[in-house]
Copies of this chain bind each other. A is one copy, B any other.
């Protein structure tokens, strides 16, 4: 029995409220400095949570594994990311609020630049602006392929969503995106027999897309990745008995939240706006996920100081958040994004949980090194959900 199945069995009702603040990419490393971004930042309010709470470090997938945003968030919500292995196509569809139906196969598309030899020179076509991409999406909407309806939606900048709608389409199709420049797009190869028709439809789509974009500059081709049908995933309501509300400024995180049946408040990405939305939503739900993107964005940009500033900006909003008096408040990340690596990393993510019911530990500051001595120890991210529910009095005893 997985952790989530156990919680489904042990859930009990209550009027307690749980708040999970996810500072995306929160964890860091010292590199040449004395500490990480979180350790360098002045965080009196997060430190206050650490003093009255219990801290630790989360490994979202497994030691050494670099979590994508999807797996990282699934773990935080108590879903084993190795069991629910969700592709980019589905996240993209959910993120823009697309009505993905059972049996649809979704893929994430990029407009890209191809040279005269058919070799990709820019996988993002110079990050063309969203308006231009919408025109290109229009051009692709008239594509017809045998045996499936074709749906194309713009996402943001060079990104789009492709959905093939038909009965009996398999989704085991390899990416056409070679994931690097200097190579031609790949053939959409099926990995099983039921996905052969899907691969043929994709090949037909790509061929026609190439013709329709041939005279466009710089976006004269498409690459596709993450083919997947809507997975069958139980809701947070059924899993934990909570009425969950997500406040997130970016499509990807709204997509994860919708996948799990959360009510999504489309506010942000400005943090003040998100915090006010939290206040406005507070009476209507009992589990709140607040997503803060700026920490990850600064880390991805390789900007140590900007990440420090983003953390301090979060810290400054903590008092306003605590005015709501959540019974359980957790601050953590979905993965680490050390600015020295300018990318997601495998390093465990610091976490602090504050509640009247917690066993306080000696941790007095919120930081990676301090969390090593925390009462939660090092644990799989998947287990955080049970800890939040338990501290909120929302779990009954296991066994007599």
Interface residues of A (CB under 8 A from B): 1, 3, 6, 10, 28-31, 36, 57, 61-71, 81-82, 85-88, 91, 108, 226, 252, 338, 340-341, 343-347, 356-362, 368-369, 372-379, 383, 385-391, 395-400
Contact = CB atoms under 8 A, between A and B. Distances in A.
A65 to B, nearest CB: 5
Q: Which of A63, A69, A373 has the most CB of B within 10 A?
A: A63
A387 B359 CA distance: 26
B360 A30 contact: yes
A387 B395 CA distance: 30
A153 to B, nearest CB: 17
Query: Which label, helix, strand, loop or mixed, suits the secondary structure of the A interface?
Result: loop
Given A66-B390, A361-B369, 16 more contacts: A1-B85, A63-B379, A63-B386, A65-B386, A66-B396, A67-B398, A86-B399, A91-B400, A108-B400, A341-B357, A345-B390, A346-B390, A361-B372, A368-B375, A372-B374, A378-B379
Number of copies: 2
Contacts of A388: 64
B390 A3 contact: no
B386 A64 contact: yes
Q: Which of A57, A70, A360 has the most CB of B within 10 A?
A: A360
A377 B375 CA distance: 11
Contact of A397 (B67, B338, B372, B379): B67
A101 to B, nearest CB: 20
A66 B344 contact: no
Nearest to A226: B400
Nearest to A368: B359
A386 B64 CA distance: 5
Given A361-B372, A362-B369, A377-B377, A62 B383 contact: yes
Given A64-B386, A65-B386, A346-B395, A400 B369 contact: no
5 contacts: A64-B383, A68-B398, A338-B359, A346-B386, A373-B373
